[in-house]
Amino acid sequence: MDQVQTPIIPVVGGWIRETPGTISLGEGVVHYGPPPEVGAAVAAALGQSFVHEYNDGAGIPVLVEAIRLKLAAENQIDVGRDSRIMVTAGANMAFMHAVLAITRPGDEVILPTPFYFNHEMAIEMAGCRVVRVPTDERYQLRLDRIEAAITPRTRAIVTISPNNPSGAVLSEASLRHVNDLCRRRGVFHISDEPYEYFTYGSARHVSPGAFADAAGHTISLYSLSKAYGFAGWRIGYMVYPVALASALMKSQDTILICPTIAAQVGAAAALAVGRSYSEPFVRELASIRDIVVRELGSLGDLATVPAADGAFYILLRVNTAIDPLVIGERLVREHKVAVIPGTSFGMTDGCYFRVAFGALQKATVAEGVGRLIAGLKALVG
């Protein structure tokens, strides 16, 4: 455990608490909460005994059925004879379960960089080795580099689309290539999709689990945290090959037994409202993204601002040799704005920062980005 990286969010959170008035462009949450139907459903259920008891480790039936219908309608994934659904305490837990189910200590998992830091942490906690494969300048997959990284110890290739931390939306062609490569080489494709609703312009989200012949080697991860403002409720779910059912239930039963029943009732109510709940917020975030990109463009040669067509992040590269952790702390303490250093996401070949714009309203985001620009010009300009 000493070799596993320290989660960066609590570190930056500590700087923020010590610096009142800081605007955080760091944490990956949305500024809205769940639909009102969620609270009403939970309140109505609290008088029923099943809410206070253990339940099926895979999820309560009403939620599992709602997920099955959603997957068929929105992701074109038919959960049938060859696959199963498991409700988890967020997509993080689903990823941890998947790693424990498919690996032995010493195995390898390929992570394209930038990656989500908790993925690296989970793999290392399982006694496995992360194989980092760089993406291109637009954070799209380098398919030849991924294929070259496969060894006899490789157990999975992970993709995140829309991507955390870059905001890149991976092309359907590249996802098909990875999925087919996994099938041919006998490894799993873990597809992490918590930001599936958050795409902008012409970008579209694609679920690899919908591809032909994908069910036997594809593990798809989802979450209600972003789309439904559900982060604190800790509800995610996974679609997995039926061959992994025994291993995954062992992990679920040991770590969790079952997700909180009241939260599952709320999740079923959220899914009954449906995707239309998040759509106005996604349109609002699209306009906020435009503001952020435009304002960051004023940094000129000081920074590179790649396109971000999904999620609510921009992975900014600052043209400096200064340690990003040092700059990140000074941005909080001297300029009262917080961003996340890119080293936590595997970006060690330069100075990167993840700028998150999901948690704030337009006026606050504009003020925060203004502080960021002023701070970077003062610290490295």
Q: What is the mean pLDDT of each run of 10 residues along the chain (381 residues)?
A: 92 96 92 97 97 96 98 96 96 98 98 98 98 96 98 98 98 98 98 98 97 97 97 98 98 97 98 97 94 94 93 96 96 97 96 93 89 96 78
Number of structural domains, the chain? 2
* Partners of residue 317 on adjacent β-strands: 304, 352
Is there a single domain that holds both residue 221 and residue 333? no
Q: What is the pLDDT of residue 145?
A: 98
Q: What is the pLDDT of residue 236?
A: 98
Based on the number of CB atoms within 10 Å of its own CB, is 138 exposed (0-12), middle (13-18) or buried (19 or more)?
Answer: exposed
Is there a single domain that holds both residue 186 and residue 58? yes
Q: What is the pLDDT of residue 80?
A: 87
Q: What is the pLDDT of residue 381?
A: 78
Q: What is the pLDDT of residue 318?
A: 97
Domain termination residue (choose one: 235, 258, 274): 274
Determine the Cα–Cα distance for residues 357 and 247; give it in Å rounded to an integer: 38
Q: What is the pLDDT of residue 124?
A: 98
Q: What is the pLDDT of residue 153?
A: 98
Domain termination residue (choose one: 225, 251, 274): 274
CATH code where residue 157 lies: 3.40.640.10
Residue 156 is which amino acid? A
Domain termination residue (choose one: 245, 274, 303): 274
Is there a single domain that holds both residue 170 and residue 293? no
Range of the domain at 217: 36-274
Is there a single domain that holds both residue 196 and residue 225? yes
Q: What is the pLDDT of residue 359?
A: 86
Residue 187 falls in which region: left (phi positive, over 0), alpha (psi -120 to 50) or beta: beta
Is there a single domain that holds both residue 195 and residue 151? yes
Is there a single domain that holds both residue 193 and residue 290? no
Determine the Cα–Cα distance for residues 275 and 277; give it in Å rounded to an integer: 5
